[in-house]
Structure 1
Amino acid sequence: MNLSLRPSAHAPTLDPALPYERVMVLDDSRAQRTLLCSLLKRWGYDVLSCERPEIALELLADPTITMIVSDWVMPGMDGPEFCRRARAMARESYAYILLLTSKSDKNAIAHGLDAGADDFLTKPVNGPELRARIHAGERIVAMQRELVAKNKMVSAALSEISALYDALDRDLMEAKKLQASLLQDTKRQFDTAAASFLLQSSGHVGGDLVGCFPVSDHQIGLFSLDVSGHGVTSAMMTARLAGRLTSASPEQNIALERRAGGGYAPLSPHLVAARLNRLMLEEVETDLYFTLCLVILDLPTGRISMVQAGHPHPAVQRRDGRVEFLGRGGLPVGLLPDAEYETLEAELAPGDRLLIYSDGLTECPGPQGDMLGEEGLTKILQTGRLQTGRRFLDGLLTDLQGYANGSDFPDDVSAILLEYTGAAS
């Protein structure tokens, strides 16, 4: 076994379009090895000569060896067995194997291919044909080398993307906590009524928001809104709108106006929707819009004033179990500059309850794609008429999951349950 040197400057050079390769010649015949090595050196290859397959397998640990010209018939280990063992090795680069054989039987050729050979050349070796097959092997090796390099690039990119997604996931989890903090209480108790709240996002964060704010000693405001789209952008918009309907700063609350003698009074709900519409179109300047249901409740009398701006029809369940749906629809907020809204009046009697909800509830699809709808919601209300507060809302969520066959909801689900008890004892 000996390792040849690079050819002299007078030796013919390789095709410049082809990469430089290192070739191993494996043959137990000294004469055959000398002939093959001489040809390959003349063509400009760095040649490694080897007479025993066992030693050749050890040398294959060198990743620079990318071409092998091997005899078929050798003592101890034939060409196909050498191919099989070479293919079983873990190598950084691919080794293209050309078997030299005097066999012409198709079954023998198939046996060699199955063992891992890439090509065959019959003896006696023809120089131009050998060179052509070596060049063909070079192209295969070059393509494999390029594929490996690109796979490494893809793997590195995927690792970087995975790290970015992990960071984004952590940020979204924190955003989910911050959004949940917008709804600090899941239940509010008043002298003549109780309000319970449900907010469940379909993803980390969502575009639904429900809440409550005091208006005066005898009035409260309830709101449910649903921003178009999903994800972070919608969640940021709900956070901004929460600041406009907050209970912490009445002077910032767009639904209130300061009285001349002090204190605050509620604006008519349709004027609040108009204000928000101007805010969205003139200040926010975004493609987002939202639906809204805003209710002002007079606690002593049970009278409600409300605006329905593209939001689902609120449901009133009377004390005897009957269910009525309020409102006539209306345009969403932030969609058209000349949108007009109206204030609707209704009255709750002691024992009645009002359910305000987002379309993620009534538009929840069942296994066959059919939506729950108002009819399905009516059945849930009637089935759970004896349940109150959070217990009813939890049951509502359970019934909705049963309707969807346990699958995740495609949209955010939010609701307010207002139970009116009447005059305080």
Structure 2
Amino acid sequence: MENVKLSERVPVGAFYRTNIEAVEDVRSRYFIALSIPAFLLIMIGIGTWESLAFHARSATSFHQYEHYLGALNKIQEGQSSATQDLQEFANQTAKSRTNSSGQYISHFEKKMAYNQPLNTALSNLLHGNNGNIPLIRGQLKAAAHHYQEIEKQYFSYAQWFLSGGGALIFLSLIYVWFGILQPIGKQSRERALALARAGEFNEDVINTSRVIIMVIDANGNVVLVNHYFQTLLQWPRTQIVGHPLLNRLFLPQDHASILALLDVGNPEQIQELPILNSAGNQLIMAWTVTPVRDVTGEELLRVAMGVDVTERAAAEHAQQIALLKAQSLSDRLQDEAQQAAELHTAFLGPEQISLPGLSGIAASITSSEVGGDYLDCYTTKETSVLVLGDVSGHGLAAGSIVAVAKTVINQLRADGIGRPDQVLRQLNNAILNTAQGLRLMTMICAAVDFRHGILYIANAGQQFPYLQKPDGQWEMLEIGGLPLGQELDLDISTSEFDMPLGSRLILISDGWVEENAPDGTPFGYERLEQALEDFSTLGDTQLRDALIARLIAFCERDTFDDDLSIIVVHHNERYPAVSEWRPEQPLEIIRISQDYYANKTISPRLSRQHIVLFAEHEWQNLLPRMSQDGIRRILIPGNPFLQAMGWDNLLNAHKEIDNELSLYLHIDTPLQLPITTSTDKVGVISSLASWLAETDVRDDWIDVCTLVADELLENALYAAPRDARGQAIYSKSVDRILNEDEHISLHMGRRNNILAVQMRDNWGTLTPSTLLQRLGAHIQGHGLIADQGGGGLYLLWRFSDYMQIRVFPGRETRATLFFDLDHPPHEDHYPAFQFLYHSDICEVNHDYL
């Protein structure tokens, strides 16, 4: 689009407006010149006419009174017939007194009309008494003399108007000639010369400029085109001038746009529209329209000007094509980068860490599409292993090294290798063989012996870890080493530390201390350690979030120059060693009372799968501590409902079984409702409600059971499916179809007053620490845990009379809720529950897998 206004480049409209203004100016000056003498002539004529009219009226009155005097003389001589004229005078006087006709009466006439002696003498005379004739004669002579003087006066007025007015008209004509007409003539000649020169200039501009110019009249006909119009479009003037604008020059689909542009008449508006040349080819023109109006504002003409932008439009089109190709390439690269980022994310370990003896969180914030940080965790027979590494650089190259590290870790997991020095040594050789020394990787590996509470750490150039003891004090573990990928068979040593129950370990990448404030000051170890001290009492998730918030506040931005990774874990329970257990010697149930637990510390060496807490009163207040200690089996002795279910069966719930409904309800074929898509949920719940109604279950219990079934199925469909990092795979707002190897089903059964609803899925992702943390959070009044929820689990527990969850990690979850139909539904109690977690570490009666 043209940046310069066409109306300024070619001022055709201004030229037309100047001509019109010149004509209007001359016209207005001539009007003024003629109006002055005309006005004087009118005024003189009016004055003369009025003077002569009053002169004639006065002459008439003079002659009338002379006539009355003659009549009076005749009466005095004895001619009685003359009284008729005096009677007329008497009537006129009386009429003047009443003025019934509303005519103007002069002061003199009024004086005579109200002259009582005159009226009396006149009345006596008319009745034959001639004694007052002298009085009457004197008044008539005075009246005649009065009107004779007025007659002379008005005649002199008329003479003055004629002589003086003639002089004024003569003077005004002199003024008009010398003061107006001669200057007008001079200015008109000068302006005509200027307009002629401007016309020649504008004609030169119009005909030499490389701009199409068309002048259109009010009817839409073309009245003028310039030479460039003919040169560019090759149209004969006879086919365009005098014809409608839209006849030949524009495509039918553009007529509305052309008319709209003409109607707006805004020189600021520029619109690109094609015009046709004589051969029918299109040229892209940038059009603008300038209206030409007279001094009253009425539009006379419209000047349309267009600049040929065909080549530029073609260039823009080519550029657009190039941009589309570039965008397509960018989208493809972006898609590949996104896939690489998703692959890198899949390489990372779970965000929620739940290992034997350890629980916590992990997080990684990448500074580019594909990060270079790597973190993971796994378990061997004796240790829970944590790794955190950082590849030099970012992007796809760094991501490829992360893929190598993930492959090695998977092999180490399969081989059961967990010693930190062995882990780092194998990683070093694999990275060196892959990158040939072009890429290095710093890494720290920590392994916790969950039997005895011993921490083993090996470091290859990564940041020092921090260990928080149960008393809350932090200690930096200064363990150094060279980065991986420099030399074959790198010498790596392992350091050993005591890790009491309740200790917390933090592993971080170098980005935490190297990020800079706007002034270039690094965050550094001192600020990191101060933050750890400030947030030492927070939970793992809250500690991670608080550290990130502190770093963001220091850097004054929420994006970082380097990747940031962190692992925060608690050592909260201990497990027996595999070598300390034999299948032929089953572990005994460990029964502890509520009072004992409230006042004693449970040994970390005791398997939580075999500890049963016998609850009594207000036991729910112990849930936060149970969450820390990992106590996940709670039974209430003497509870009639639990006794009816089978007390011994509840105590031995840690033993692996295939069918809880068969064990507790003594039925072999419970109602089973499988799920294949998320849309099946409505039908399954409807079938459940029908089955409950057929078995004479009360409506209030039907409402509770359908609510419970809905929550169980929702968890199985959306909460249970998780990736390697522990992130939910599916969003609740999306309908989903189950995979071929995915199984979800709802089971129901009833025996007398005992009703059971069970949900099964083959994900096995729910952990004891997750359940305990969420129940404890509600008891403490914290409600939902940030980014985790948990309200559904809490409500399921409170609605039931007993809840049992059995999980085979990565294989199956069975959540079963039992209800006592002899009582109405209520949620004002805290029922017993047991979480049986059959991990790959033998806790009950099955070997390490």
TM class by shorter-chain length? 0.5 to 0.7
Match of 2:365 in 1: 200
Measure, in 2, the Cα distance between the counterparts of 1:148 and 1:225. 54
Whole-Å Cα distance in 2 between the matches of residues 222 and 359 of structure 1?
17
- Counterpart CA distance in 2 for 1:195 and 1:324 is 19
Give CA deviations for 1:237-286 in whole Å, capped at 9, x if unaligned. Answer: 2122112112xxxxx22x785xxxxxx453x4234323322222234436
Indicate conservation of the 8 Å contact 1:187/1:390, yes or no: no
Query: Which residue, out of 372, 375, 378, partners 1:213?
Result: 378
Asked if residue 276 in structure 1 is aligned to residue 441 in structure 2, the reply is: no
Query: Aligned-pair distance for 1:359?
Result: 1.1
Match of 1:164 in 2: 329
Shift, 1:87, TM fit: 11
CA contact (8 A) 2:404 2:431 kept: no
Q: Structure 1 or 2: larger helix share?
A: 2
- Aligned residue number for residue 396 of structure 1: 547
The structural deviation recorded for 1:189 is: 2.7
Task: Call closer, same or farther: CA 1:294–1:351 in 2, change over 3 Å.
Answer: same
**Aligned letter for 1:277?**
N
Which residue, 498, 513, 518 being the options, matches 1:347?
Answer: 498
Is the aligned partner of 1:173 residue 2:324?
Answer: no
Provide the C-alpha distance between the structure 2 equivalents of 1:272 and 1:192, rounded to a whole number of angstroms: 20
Cα distance, 1:148 vs. partner?
7.7
Given the superposition, is the C-alpha separation of residues 192 and 361 from structure 1 closer, same or farther in structure 2, using an over 3 Å criterion?
same
Structure 1 CA distance, aligned partners of 2:529 and 2:422?
31
The alignment status of 1:409 with 2:560, answered yes or no, reads: yes
Matched, 1:245 2:409: yes
CA–CA separation in structure 2 for the residues paired with 1:51 and 1:194:
85
- Segments of structure 2 that go 5 or more residues without pairing to the other structure are 1-198, 217-221, 235-266, 274-282, 287-304, 574-603, 607-628, 630-849
Contact 2:460/2:483 (<8 A) preserved: yes
- Distance in 1 between residues matched to 2:364 and 2:232, nearest whole Å: 60
> For residues 312 and 88 of structure 1, do their structure 2 counterparts lie closer, same or farther at Cα, with a shift above 3 Å needed?
same
Pick aligned residue for 2:388 from 221, 224, 235: 224
Q: Show the counterpart of 1:335.
A: 486
How far apart are residue 413 of structure 1 and its match? 1.1
Compared CA separation, residues 163 and 198, structure 1 to 2 (3 A): same
- Counterparts in 2 of 1:255-274, with a 5 A limit? 264-266=416-418, 268-274=419-425
Q: Rate the CA distance shift 1:388–1:64 in 2: closer, same or farther, 3 A.
A: farther
Letter in 2 for 1:177: E
- Write the deviation string for residues 11-65 of structure 1: whole angstroms up to 9, x where unpaired: xxxxxxxxxxxxxxxxx99xx99xx99xxxxxxxxxx9x9999744697599789
Distance 1:304-1:61 versus aligned 2 partners, 3 A rule: farther
Once the 2 structures are TM-superposed, how far is the Cα of residue 399 of structure 1 from its aligned partner? 2.1
TM alignment of 1:14-413, pairs within 5 A = 55-56=224-225, 60=229, 90=272, 154-183=319-348, 185-216=350-381, 218-246=382-410, 252-253=411-412, 264-266=416-418, 268-285=419-436, 287-337=438-488, 339-413=490-564
> How far 1:354 moved relative to its partner?
1.0
- 1:175 Cα deviation from its structure 2 partner: 3.2
- CA–CA distance in 2 between the matches of 1:61 and 1:211? 78
How many residues align structurally? 308
Does the C-alpha gap of structure 1 residues 354 and 155 become closer, same or farther in structure 2, counting only changes over 3 Å?
same
Question: What amino acid sits opposite 1:398 in the alignment?
Answer: A
Could you say if the C-alpha distance between residues 214 and 58 of structure 1 is closer, same or farther in structure 2, counting changes exceeding 3 Å?
A: farther
Q: What per-residue deviation string (whole Å, max 9, x for no partner) do you get for residues 218-244 of structure 1?
A: 311110011111122212321221121
Q: SS where residue 288 of structure 1 aligns?
A: coil
- CA distance in 1 between partners of 2:479 and 2:569 (Å): 20
Q: 1:192 to 1:238 in 2, by over 3 A?
A: same
Match of 2:614 in 1: none
Corresponding residue for residue 72 of structure 1? none
1:245 maps to amino acid: I
Q: Whole-Å Cα distance in 2 between the matches of residues 352 and 320 of structure 1?
A: 9
What percent identity do the matched residue pairs reach?
A: 23
Distance 1:205 1:87 in 2: 48
SS of 2:462's equivalent in the other structure is coil
Cα contact 2:514–2:524 (8 A) shared by 1? yes
Distance 1:54 1:320 in 2: 99
Contact 1:186 1:197 in 2 (8 A): yes
**CA 1:414–1:51 in structure 2 vs 1: closer, same or farther (change >3 Å)?**
closer
- Distance in 2 (CA, whole Å) between partners of 1:180 and 1:278 is 24
Indicate how the Cα distance of structure 1 residues 272 and 51 shifts in structure 2: closer, same or farther if over 3 A, else same: closer
Contact 2:405–2:431 (CA under 8 A) maintained in structure 1: no
Query: How much has 1:320 moved relative to structure 2?
Result: 2.9
Q: Does structure 2 retain, via aligned residues, the 8 Å contact 1:63–1:93?
A: no
Shift of 1:377: 1.3
Question: How far off its partner does 1:327 sit?
Answer: 3.0
Offset from partner CA, 1:84-137 (integer Å, 9 cap, x none): x89967487899xxxxxxxxxxxxxxxxxxxx9xxxxxxxxxxxxxxxxxxxxx
Residues 388/156 of structure 1: CA separation in 2 closer, same or farther (3 Å cut)? same
Aligned amino acid, residue 213 of structure 1: Y
Over 3 Å counting, the alpha-carbon distance change for 1:332 and 1:150 in structure 2 is: farther
Residues 343 and 161 of structure 1: is their aligned pair in 2 closer, same or farther, counting only changes over 3 Å?
A: same
TM-score (norm 1): 0.61
CA contact 2:472–2:537 (8 Å) conserved in 1:
no
Give the aligned partner of residue 98 of structure 1: none
How far does residue 202 in structure 1 lie from its aligned partner after superposition?
1.7
Task: From the superposition, tell whether residues 212 and 56 of structure 1 become closer, same or farther in structure 2 (CA, over 3 Å).
Answer: same
User: Given the superposition, is the C-alpha separation of residues 281 and 184 from structure 1 closer, same or farther in structure 2, using an over 3 Å criterion?
Assistant: closer
Q: TM-score, normalised by structure 2?
A: 0.32
Paired with 2:343 and 2:232, the residues of 1 have a C-alpha distance of 54
3-state DSSP class of the match of 2:380?
strand
Question: Hey, what's the Cα distance between the residues in 1 that align with 2:325 and 2:227?
Answer: 37
Q: Distance in 1 between matches of 2:357 and 2:328?
A: 53
Larger Rg: 2
Cα shift at 1:298 = 0.6
- Structure 2 contact 215–223 (Cα < 8 Å) conserved: no
Offset from partner CA, 1:316-335 (integer Å, 9 cap, x none): 12233322222342211113
What's the Cα RMSD here? 4.0
1:8 is matched with none
Q: Please say which of residues 153-162 and 321-330 is displaced more in the overlay.
A: 153-162
In the TM superposition, what whole-angstrom CA distance separates every residue of 1:176-207 from its partner, at most 9, and x where no partner exists?
33332334532233453313211221222211
Which one is further off, 222-231 or 163-172?
163-172
**CA deviation after TM superposition for structure 1 residue 171, in Å:** 3.2
Question: Are the equivalent residues in 2 in contact too, given 1:290–1:332 (CA < 8 A)?
Answer: yes
Is the 2:436–2:485 contact (alpha carbons within 8 Å) kept by the matching residues of 1? no
